[in-house]
Structures are given as structure tokens and as C-alpha cells.
Amino acid sequence: MSLNIAVIIKLEPDFSDGNVSYNPDGTLNRAETKTILGHHSAIASQAAFYAKVKYGARICIGTMGPPMADLALEQSLLLSDAEELHLYSDRSFAGADTLSTAEVLKTGISKMNDGKAMDIVFSGFRASDGETGQTGPQTAWKLGFTFLGNVISYEIDIEKRVITALRLISYGNNSLIEQVQAPLPVFIAIDPSYKSPFITVSQRLSASRYQKEAMIRSRNYKSLLKIFNAKELGVDPKLVGLPGSPTIVYKVEKIPKIKSNRSAQTVENIDPNNISNILEKIHETIA
Amino acid sequence: MEQFDVVIVGGGSAGLAALKHLSSKGIQSVLMEAGSTVGTKNVSGGILYSKNPQTGKVYNVDEIFENFLQEKPWERQITKYILNCVSKDKVLSIDLTDSHEYQSNFGCSVLLNKLNSWFAKQSLEVAERNGGGIVNGVHVRNISWDEEKGKTIIQTDELDDFEAKAIIASDGVNSEVAEITGARKKFSPPELYQGVKVVVKLPEEIIEERFDLSPGEGTAHIFAGDVTLGHIGGGFLYTNIDSLSAGVVYHYDSLISNPMGPNNLVNALLNNPFVKEYIKDEVALEPYPDKSLSKMEQLRIKFAVNKLIKRWEKLRFEYYSHEGKKRFLDDKEFNSIEDVKSKMDAIHKELLEKYNTRFETDYVELEYSTKLIPDGKRCRMKKPYIKNILFIGDAAGRGLFIGPRIEGLNVGIDDAVRASNAIKQALEKNNLDVASNYLGELYSQSVQESPYTMDMERIDKYYIKTIIDTAGKQIPSQKIGKYRLLFRLFQNDKLRNISIDIVNKIGYNNMLSLIESEETYIHTPINIAAKLGTKTISEYSLSIPELSQRISNLSYNDDPQSHIKIINPRSEFMKKMVTLCPTKCYSLEGEDVVLQHEGCIECGTCSPETEWRHPRGEKGIQYKYG
Ligand SMILES: Cc1cc2nc3c(=O)[nH]c(=O)nc-3n(C[C@H](O)[C@H](O)[C@H](O)COP(=O)(O)OP(=O)(O)OC[C@H]3O[C@@H](n4cnc5c(N)ncnc54)[C@H](O)[C@@H]3O)c2cc1C
Ligand code: SF4
């Protein structure tokens, strides 16, 4: 039985050393900043790749963004060996918040693989450029899929069409792993700690075969690329872009630095007298 | 449990040659490599030879990898081979090209990361056709046999267990497979050399001009005399395309009796005036910031200077490279090569005049590495197998290190083909029964027939004659001291044959301590250089990086789990490790030697008396050049 998978990804500023540029008001200078496939989107692509290696899944990647976002699609293809790439690009999508982005993505997903139903949709944990981790859950809600967040591993019973996933749940300083089962289709927001568990020689061999295939495919990725504008996608103009966004970025503020008005005393060596002095000071403070 | 026909442990050049050869014979073969990608854990000098022996057949790299010469995964074809006898600033250079060409088709300089990646690509294409391939980032931990069920089970740190019908152990000098299976004891210091190398950056055309070479052509220099700081062994300086490999190789025994930090040993070679003149380059130094300026302005200048220096270095490297020149014009970035030169000069001027950047004569080091090397004359496995496991290359202790003859890569490739052929035959006969030793004996016999084995067992009089003839042309026999008589003897055909026959009867092994002595490697070369050498004056001083800097320039994938355990922290051997570990991983705390292991480059120097394993898959050192 075949498995259809979608991955939704995002082009993001490359926050690695030396690649980010800010405007004088502290906002990101997008024109000067290099962009790449977001870190969490990369992990989502890898999670989808696991299903390709293990279950022979067919993968389609989608993103909403400017025309140059096809760069992120290419990078995601390299990680997942996807067969189809979707770019949803239209001026009317500008100013989209998470909800209207979810509307575009939901509609795009319904067009993937000639409109065949998806079994799993993967998204990253969140985007690194100020997003709140809402697009994934909202897309899942719009699709009507069961949502599984913080997934760190998963296995599928293809016959029964049931997925068993482990989720990393954090509360306070503690975390625990929860095992859940759900019938397909599901929407998975992958946890940043996810690592593909290729634990047999055959899986490793097919993974490397697919990676090679992905390299070849990526050289010609434009032939796999389908670009949709709002009309081609058939979205309701009231539900996308600014009109479809109940929230808006009102203001960006720099996180203020903590004022340093503390004075420090340097203790040069580990002389027992010095240590007992330190301890005394600590006691005083606590008291 | 998954089963494969052949599993190869270790993706150095030997293992990769086995993968290619087995696969091209239609045999399903899977190679396991501990490094995150093939090539990141391998180190060589290195010159890779293709040989053409007068008697017998060896399997060469260009035969196994058919497009080796056309696709050029190597650096330069070595056409000049020079032995330098050194005494302080005096050097006598003796042209030993004849001995380098002795029974050779060609010899080329190589950097193992590049070479092995190419081998991997070639092998993988064929291996995949038979359901095989390469699995990176996997450390083979154990091999066991269930003889009742006729199973050979391989365990790794990363994967589910799997089975193999036959195994090729190409896991290098510190072979864990050999140890786990009891196939041989760990190599001991008398059986080993320690090799230390640095890769030095230098533009392509400057190399050609300095070494007097045509494009693509290369030179190899080897060194004996006082550069060894009293150790038995020698130094080398090989030309790559746009870098040089400079290093030293010393008998482990000699290092044990006079411990000295490998870092300092390679520095002694670099600091020799003759070598200094070859490695020097123009280096831009960032100016100190003008403290009177605001912090913001200082930062702005720092970024600007940094960017300009990088741009200048890149332009310069491309400008002095044949391909780079082509790229400039193809990319249409510049209208002519003169434009590139003008741009380079303009940046140079700007850096000098506007930003007070200093340009100095110095050298640029790219990578520091160390590894043990098995001395095939002393440690070659007489039976290179156990049950259905065949040992090849360094894992089998095979390497030809005889005076200026330094060959391990080609020997490993020859072994790989012999092992593959034996497996093919045993599979055809359906005789891989571990109790019968059919496979092992087949391989053992083939290895015994290899001309390389003969070279490890006996002195080759023709080879010696080549060296003595060339050396004799340059050195009057009265200057050779103790070796005068020997020279005379060798120049006479009849006497040479008789004397070599006698030596071979006495046994190579019994003669080695005489041949490989301080007299040969240190005193005589010093005398010759002192009497006949030419003085080299080098007036700049090298800024050799501190060891800590060398280590921090390396890439690691750290593993909090130590792969080394000290057996006896108070042994004399471990105390020597405090000096002999190339990355100073050991220190003495009171009476005990303790291991920090942060900078471990997995050279194996401490392995003779530690519980030594390779780190888990993908962990540890990741060389960029090798
Ligand atoms: C300084 C120096 C100079 C030299 N000069 C020359 C020269 O000029 N010419 C020449 O021909 N030779 C030279 N040699 C020797 C030559 O480099 C070696 O003989 C050759 O590289 C050995 O190849 P190999 O494939 O047998 O082993 P290696 O290259 O050591 O490969 C072994 C591989 O096995 C992997 N491995 C080990 N254990 C495991 C495990 N348990 N599981 C999975 N993987 C594992 C390692 O990661 C490694 O990649 C020189 C060596 C040195 C150090
Ligand atoms: S600790 Fe590592 S680097 Fe040091 S001698 Fe041992 S193997 Fe070599």
C-alpha cells in the first residue's frame, strides 16, 4: 500500500554567523540577509525521508513564500528525496499571519499528487524568525487531521493504517516521553531533537541510494516545481494575506539588556580563607 | 537477521579497493566505515604508486579504478625524487628519481580525503548494482561465530546485528577486528613507525616555479640527518596541487628510547632553512586596532580588513592557479587576467596604505595529523586470516618501508584484490566453511605470491644498486665513512650478488638492526651534508602554531564516551605517552598518568598498552586533507 506524505517548509533568514543584517531600528534587513531552508523545516524533511526509506513513501513539499523560496524547496528535496515541489506565491499573500498561511498551505496540500489524499503531513516545530509554532497546528485543524506535536519518532503499520509515535512532553523542568497511536491521516509537528533511526544495514543502504537520487533530482528541481498563484490555487481572497489575518505584527521591540549595576570582586585563588569568605557572603545574601 | 555476502570493515584505500573489485565481480559487498563520511579518518604521506615488477604480478590502482589517470583524484605526478642529507643549514641533495621509478608505472602525490572520496564514489556505483554499498558512521564492535548454525555475526555500536558469509578486515593499523577475533596480537613499538604530517597551503603556480615543475608535475623530497633530532627515520616534503605535505616518520622504538613530542619533531623539519625556503609565502597580518577610535569604529575597521584580506587571498590563490585563471574568464567576472592582477594589487595597496596591514613572509598551515604505520618487514601477518575473515593493508601489518621506499597504499590495494579473488573463488566452490580454512589458505597463498611480500622478506639487490649507483655519482666514496666498503662492494656486480645472497641467508630480520641504525639514518647523512652540502640561508622566521592552536584547527565530532582506557597508569610506557601523544591527551598527576582525550586524533600511539578502540560511529576526528 502506498503512503502519501506532504512536508510544509519555510524559507528563513540564515541566522548563522555573519549572515544576518539588521536595520537601524533593530528589525531584520531582509534584502541583505541570506536565506535558507529553516532549521526546523530541515528536520521535518528528514522525518519524511524516514518514511520514504522505510515504507517507500511518496513525498511532496510545499511552501508559501516569495519566488525565491524555491531555494528552500530545493534544499528540502535534498534531504527528503521528494518527488513534487509546490510554491504558493502571490502578492495577495503578503502580510499573512499564521492562520492565513495555514489556509494557503491547506489548499496547496489538497492539490498535491494530483489531488490524492495525504496520509501524513509534516511540519517543523516552529520557524526561527519570530513564529510561534502555530502554522502547523492550524493547518492540521483546517485539514481536519489528527495533530501530533513534539514527535521524536514514529512507526507505521501500513496494513492497519495506524501510526505509533513517541512525543516529548515538557512541563516545568521535567520532560517525559508519551507513546500515542492514531489512525492515518495525521499531521506531525516534529520535535527539534528528532533523528532518523536507520538501524539496519538495508535501511542505511537505501537511505544513501535515495540521497544520491536526491542529488541528481535537485540539479533539475525546477522540473519538479509547480508554482501556484492565488487564482490557480483557488483560495478565497478573504481568507488569505492581510484580509485573512486576524493578527498583525504591530511593533518589533528589542529585548532590553539587563542593566548592570552590580559590582564584582575577583577571587584569584582557591585559598581556603577566600572560599569561606565567599560562603559567608552567600549565607548573608540568602539570609 | 540480515545477511550479506561480504562485509568490509574499514573504508581506507584498501577497503574501498576491495569494495570496487568484489562488486565488479558481481559479489554483493557492504563496507562499514566509522567516519561520518569516507576519507575523514585516513592519513598518508603520501605517494601512491602503480608498480610494474619484473617478476610476478601486482594489482595496481589504475587497474582497479579504470579512470584513475583521466579523472585525477590525485594531486601531482611525481617526476623528481630527491634525498636530502641535512646538517644544520647545509644540505646535500641526491637525485633518487631512478629508485622512485624502479619497477614503477608512475607515482603520484595524494591527499587521502580527496582520494578516498573518489574511490568511494567509484566503488559505490558498482556496489549498488549488486545490492551492496557503503555505510558510513558505523563502528564495528564485535564479530562472533555461531558454528552450529554456520553464522558469522557482526555487531556494531549503531545498527542491528547482521550476518556475513565472508569478511574483509581493512580497519587499519589499529585493527580492532584483529584484536576481537584474536587473529594477531596488537603491534608492539618495534613493529611500528609514528608518522606526523602538516599540510601547508601554497598557490599552484608558485609551487611550480619554486620546485621547477611543469603543470601537473610534482617533486618529492625526503630528508635524513639532523632534522630527525636523533631518531631513526626521516622527513618528507611532497608537492600537491596547491599545498605541500610535510612530515616525519620515525621508528616507534627510537621514539620510546628518546621520547620527544611529535609536534616538535615535525617543527624541526619545518624549521630547517632548506625546507623553510620551500614552504614560505606572503601572508597578510591583521593590524592591531587603533585604540583611540571608538569601539564601534574599531569593529567596523576589523570587519573591513578581514573581508579585504579574505578577498585578496582568494583572488591570489585563483590567480596563481591554472583552473582559477580559466574560471575568472568563464565566469566573466573579469575581462582579462591582467584585470585580476590589477584588482589584487589594488586590494594589496588599500590594505597596506589605508589599513596598515602588514604583509610578511611566513607559511600557512592547514592541518596537523598523526598516525601509526606498520613496518611490514617486522609485523606482516604470516597468516593474514582467521576463519572467514581476511586481513588486508595496514590491518594485516603490510607496508614497504625500506630506506627511501615508502609504500603502503599500493600494497593495501594489491591485498584487496587478492582477498576479493579468493572470496570469489570460495563462493563459486561454495566453500566458505569456517572450519575448513579453504578461503583463508587461498588468500594466504595469493598474498605470499605477491611481489610485495617478497620485498618485505628479502633485500632486493637491484633496488639497492639503483640507490648506490645514483648516490655514488654524487658522493665520492671517501666521504661516506663506514659505508665506503659497502659502496665498493655494491658497485661490483659479482660481489654485490654474493653479499646480498649471504644477507638474505642470514635473514632480513636479523640484519635489520644493523641496516636501520643511527649510523644509516643520522650520522652518515650528517657527515655527508657537513662535508659536501650547500648552505641555505633563510632569513624569515616561521610562526609555527602552538599545539593547542593546531588542535583547535581540527574538526571533531566529540564523544563524551572515552574510547581509550588506561590499563596501568603507572607503567613506564604510559609515562612516555605524556610526551609521545601528538595532542597531549595524557598528563602526569602525582604518580599516575591520566587521560583527558579531548584532542585525540586516534593515531594509536598509546594503543600498545591501553584498551584502545575507535570512537563510536561518526565520532572523533574528521580530517579535511589526510
Ligand atoms: C605520515 C605517513 C606517511 C605515509 N606515506 C606513504 C606514502 O608515501 N606512500 C604509501 O603508499 N603509503 C604511505 N603511508 C602508509 C599509508 O598511508 C597506509 O598504508 C594506508 O593509508 C593504509 O590504508 P588502509 O586502508 O589499510 O588503512 P586506513 O587508511 O587506516 O583505513 C582504515 C579505516 O578503517 C576504519 N575503521 C577502523 N576500525 C573500524 C571499525 N571497527 N569499524 C568501522 N570502521 C573502522 C577507519 O575509520 C579507517 O577509515 C604513510 C602513512 C603515514 C601515516
Ligand atoms: S590519546 Fe589519541 S592522540 Fe593521543 S596517543 Fe592515544 S590515540 Fe593518539
Cβ separation of A201 and B159 shorter than 8 Å? yes
Contact B509, B378 (CB under 8 A): yes
Predicted confidence band of residue B95 (pLDDT cuts 50, 70, 90): very high
Q: What is the arithmetic mean of pLDDT over B369-398?
A: 97
Answer whether residue A116 shows pLDDT above 80: yes
Q: What local confidence, expressed as pLDDT, does residue B203 receive?
A: 98
Query: Could you report the per-residue pLDDT of B100-115, keeping only the tens digit for each?
Result: 999 999 999 999 999 9
Which of B171, B180, B249, B414 for a ligand 1 pocket mutation test, highest count of atoms within 8 Å of Cβ? B171
**Average per-residue pLDDT for chain A:** 90
Cell of A147: 495533530
Cβ separation of B138 and A208 shorter than 8 Å? no
Ligand closest to CA B371: 1
Cβ separation of B138 and A204 shorter than 8 Å? yes
Q: By alpha-carbon position, which residue is closest to atom 4 of ligand 2?
A: B581
Residue A28 DSSP one-character state: B
Q: How far out from the chain centre does Cα A173 lie?
A: 24
Q: How many CB atoms lie within 10 A of CB B297?
A: 12
Cβ(B172) to ligand 1 under 6 A? Answer: yes
SS3 track for B353-390: HHCCCEEEEECEEEEEEEEEEECHHHHCCCCCEECCEE
> What percent of chain A has pLDDT above 90?
71
Q: What is the arithmetic mean of pLDDT over B26-50?
A: 97
Interface check A286 vs B, CB under 8 A? no
Nearest to B426 by CA among B372, B387, B472: B387
Distance B439 CA to ligand 1 centre (A): 24
Cβ(B11) to ligand 1 under 6 A? Answer: yes
Cβ neighbours of B124 in A, within 8 Å? 208, 212
Q: How many CB atoms lie within 10 A of CB B242?
A: 19
Q: What local confidence, expressed as pLDDT, does residue A24 receive?
A: 66
Q: What local confidence, expressed as pLDDT, does residue A259 receive?
A: 62
Q: What local confidence, expressed as pLDDT, does residue A269 receive?
A: 64
Among the partner-chain residues B2, B128, B158, the one whose CB lies closest to the CB of A209 is B128
Give CA separation, B520 vs B232, B488, B526, in Å: 8, 16, 10
Q: Which pairing describes strands B405-407 and B400-402: parallel, antiparallel, or unpaired?
A: antiparallel
Q: How far out from the chain centre does Cα A206 lie?
A: 25
**Among chain A residues, CA nearest to B163:** A201
**Given 3-state DSSP classes, what are the helix, strand and coil percentages for chain B, each rounded to the nearest 5?**
40, 25, 35
Query: Could you report the per-residue pLDDT of A201-224, keeping only the tens digit for each?
Result: 999 999 999 999 999 999 999 999
Cell of B210: 619554486
Among the ranges given (B145-154, B221-230, B366-375), the one the predictor scored with the smallest mean pLDDT: B145-154
Q: What local confidence, expressed as pLDDT, does residue A17 receive?
A: 63
Rounded distance, CA B6 to CA B133, Å? 11
Q: How many CB atoms lie within 10 A of CB B286?
A: 15
Which one is predicted more confidently, B451 or A170? B451
Q: What local confidence, expressed as pLDDT, does residue B12 receive?
A: 98
Cβ neighbours of A202 in B, within 8 Å? 2
Q: What is the arithmetic mean of pLDDT over B260-284?
A: 97
List of residues 6+ apart from B209 with CB closer than 8 A: none
Helix (DSSP H) and strand (DSSP E) numbers for chain A: 7, 11
Rounded distance, CA B171 to CA B10, Å? 4
> What percent of chain B has pLDDT above 90?
84
Q: Which residue has the cell 510554491?
A: A87
Q: What is the arithmetic mean of pLDDT over B459-475?
A: 84
Q: What is the arithmetic mean of pLDDT over B537-559?
A: 95
Which of B180, B394, B400, B452 for a ligand 1 pocket mutation test, highest count of atoms within 8 Å of Cβ? B394
ipTM of the complex: 0.88
Q: What is the arithmetic mean of pLDDT over B202-219?
A: 98
Interface check A195 vs B, CB under 8 A? no
Q: What local confidence, expressed as pLDDT, does residue A261 receive?
A: 64
DSSP states of B430-474: T---TTT-HHHHHHHHHHHHSHHHHHHHS--HHHHHHHHHHHHHH
Answer whether residue A260 shows pLDDT above 80: no
Query: Could you report the per-residue pLDDT of B396-449, keeping only the tens digit for each?
Result: 999 999 888 999 999 999 999 999 999 999 999 999 988 889 999 999 999 999
Predicted confidence band of residue B468 (pLDDT cuts 50, 70, 90): confident
Q: By alpha-carbon position, which residue is closest to atom 2 of ligand 2?
A: B600
Q: By alpha-carbon position, which residue is closest to atom 15 of ligand 1?
A: B408
Q: What is the arithmetic mean of pLDDT over B346-351?
A: 97
Q: What is the arithmetic mean of pLDDT over A88-92?
A: 96
Predicted confidence band of residue B476 (pLDDT cuts 50, 70, 90): confident
> What percent of chain B has pLDDT above 70?
100
Q: What local confidence, expressed as pLDDT, does residue A255 receive?
A: 66
Name residue B108's beta-bridge partners.
Answer: B48, B77
Nearest to B604 by CA among B621, B625, B587, B624: B621
Answer whether residue B275 shows pLDDT above 90: yes
Residue B200 C-alpha, separation from nearest chain A C-alpha, in angstroms: 27
Answer whether residue B245 shows pLDDT above 70: yes
Q: What local confidence, expressed as pLDDT, does residue B290 receive?
A: 86
Contact B107, B410 (CB under 8 A): no
Answer whether residue A173 shows pLDDT above 90: no
Distance B597 CA to ligand 2 centre (A): 7
**Average per-residue pLDDT for chain B:** 94
What pTM was computed for the model? Answer: 0.90
Cβ separation of B135 and A208 shorter than 8 Å? yes
List of residues 6+ apart from B247 with CB closer than 8 A: B45, B195, B196, B197, B198, B235, B236, B266, B269
Answer whether residue A258 shows pLDDT above 70: no
Q: What local confidence, expressed as pLDDT, does residue A262 receive?
A: 65
Q: How far out from the chain centre does Cα B109 lie?
A: 10
Among the ranges given (A20-29, B40-49, B510-519), the one the predictor scored with the smallest mean pLDDT: A20-29
Q: What local confidence, expressed as pLDDT, does residue B240 receive?
A: 98
Distance B605 CA to ligand 2 centre (A): 6
Q: Which residues of B130-144 are buried (b: 16+ CB within 10 A; e: fewer)?
A: bebbbbbbbbbbebe
* SS3 of residue B195 by DSSP: strand
Q: What local confidence, expressed as pLDDT, does residue A25 receive?
A: 64
Query: Could you report the per-residue pLDDT of A64-78, keeping only the tens digit for each?
Result: 999 999 999 999 999
Interface check A202 vs B, CB under 8 A? yes
Predicted confidence band of residue B536 (pLDDT cuts 50, 70, 90): very high
Cβ(B196) to ligand 2 under 6 A? Answer: no
